[in-house]
Amino acid sequence: MRPEPPPHADTVAEVGEFGLIRRVTAGRTQPPTTLLGPGDDAAVVAVSDGRVVVSTDVLVDGVHFRLDWSSPEQVGRKAAAVNLSDVCAMGAKPTALLIGIACPADTPTALVEGITSGLWQEAAVAGAGVVGGDMTSSATLVISVTALGDMGGLEPVTRSGARVGDLVAVCGRLGWAAAGLAVLGRGFRSPVAVVGAQRNPEPPYPAGPQAAAAGATSMIDVSDGLLADLGHVADESGVGVDIRTELLQVHPRLLDVASALGADARHWVLTGGEDHALAATFPDQGSIPDGWQVIGSVRPGGGVTVDGRGYEKPPGWEHWR
């Protein structure tokens, strides 16, 4: 659902593509890595070691966000965060975003300006710039973001490097966005901190390069659920992963919300997506950086278990299911 525009608000059709682009790019500050920003056929972004890390995500109105639940700025920040965290999960430092926005002709320009303002804000948090993109007409509001990153001389940390005996650790919040979705789905707007986690995730951007420098053997962004995403690491690495529930930290606020809703807070932590925490494997306790919490280990075999057993519920979000 889209909020009603204020009286006499102009639309994207009235302002036009290039007028709208001028509105959302004028007066913005770029980081030093942006050598040429918006306004030409392509942007130019500096990288220190000749390798560029690239990731793309698409967010669709009604699927990934709802404008009756989130402000345009929150939608923009979320669209940036889900991409920036993927770059950090490779161990790279984000440098730039490319933005594609498709929307109906009667979309208020204030809505698009709000989304792009959020994109700029979140990019700045991660140290990246918004260097270009495209706008076009569509029956549905769609935001496509491509994030670029610089490895800074480090090797990319992939999903395929986990080894038997490694420790599994996470950095960032787990279960908060799932709790926020449950609250919003019941028609409530509080607790604010929980609902805010769904509207505006807070990925631990510096933790990705930090883990890469510390010798992480594999890493992944937790976007679809901890068990589901660690399943990708297990599959790509040819190993098994076991999560120990006694090591999982379930915040008291989540326990309170779960109690009020008749839900299971631990299930949110294990399977809830959209917090965009980072999960990684490390050779030993001494290699794990500050801010990371050990939650399990890598074992022989395959798949992901919880306390040595298969998890009976769906492990996370799956598209088209």
Tokens of 308: 């040595």
- Contact (Cβ atoms closer than 8 angstroms) between residue 119 and residue 27: no
Q: Which residues are annotated as a binding site?
A: 41, 55-57, 64, 86, 133-134, 159, 221, 223-224, 274, 317
Q: Which residues are annotated as a binding site for Mg(2+)?
A: 41, 55-57, 86, 134, 221, 224
- Taking the domains of the chain in order of start, what are their residue ranges? 12-150, 167-306
The torsion angles phi and psi of 48, rounded to 5 degrees, stand at: -80, -30
For residue 245, give the DSSP letter: G
pLDDT value of residue 2: 53
Phi-psi region of 108 (alpha: psi -120 to 50; beta: other; left: phi over 0): beta
* Separation CA 84–CA 98 (nearest Å): 11
Query: In which band, very low, low, confident or very high, does the pLDDT at 227 lie, cut at 50, 70 and 90?
Result: very high
Q: Which residues are annotated as a binding site for ATP?
A: 133-134, 159, 223
For residue 316, give the DSSP letter: S
pLDDT value of residue 260: 96
Residues 246-266: pLDDT tens digits?
999 999 999 999 999 999 999
Q: Which CATH superfamily is domain 167-306 in?
A: PurM-like C-terminal domain (3.90.650.10)
Phi-psi region of 207 (alpha: psi -120 to 50; beta: other; left: phi over 0): alpha
pLDDT value of residue 49: 80
Q: Which residues are annotated as a binding site for substrate?
A: 64, 274, 317
> Strand pairing partners for 142?
60, 102
* Separation CA 113–CA 303 (nearest Å): 44
* Separation CA 65–CA 78 (nearest Å): 9
Residues in the chain, overall count: 321
Residues 4-35: pLDDT tens digits?
555 446 887 787 766 777 787 777 788 888 88
The torsion angles phi and psi of 6, rounded to 5 degrees, stand at: -65, 155
- Whether the predicted model's global pTM rises above the 0.75 cut: yes
- Contact (Cβ atoms closer than 8 angstroms) between residue 116 and residue 24: yes
* Separation CA 146–CA 98 (nearest Å): 5
> Strand pairing partners for 45?
34
* Separation CA 108–CA 83 (nearest Å): 25
Query: In which band, very low, low, confident or very high, does the pLDDT at 320 lie, cut at 50, 70 and 90?
Result: very low
Pairing between β-strand 240-243 and β-strand 303-306 as defined by DSSP bridges = parallel
The CATH number of domain 12-150, selected from 3.20.20.120, 3.40.50.720, 3.40.50.2300, 3.30.1330.10: 3.30.1330.10
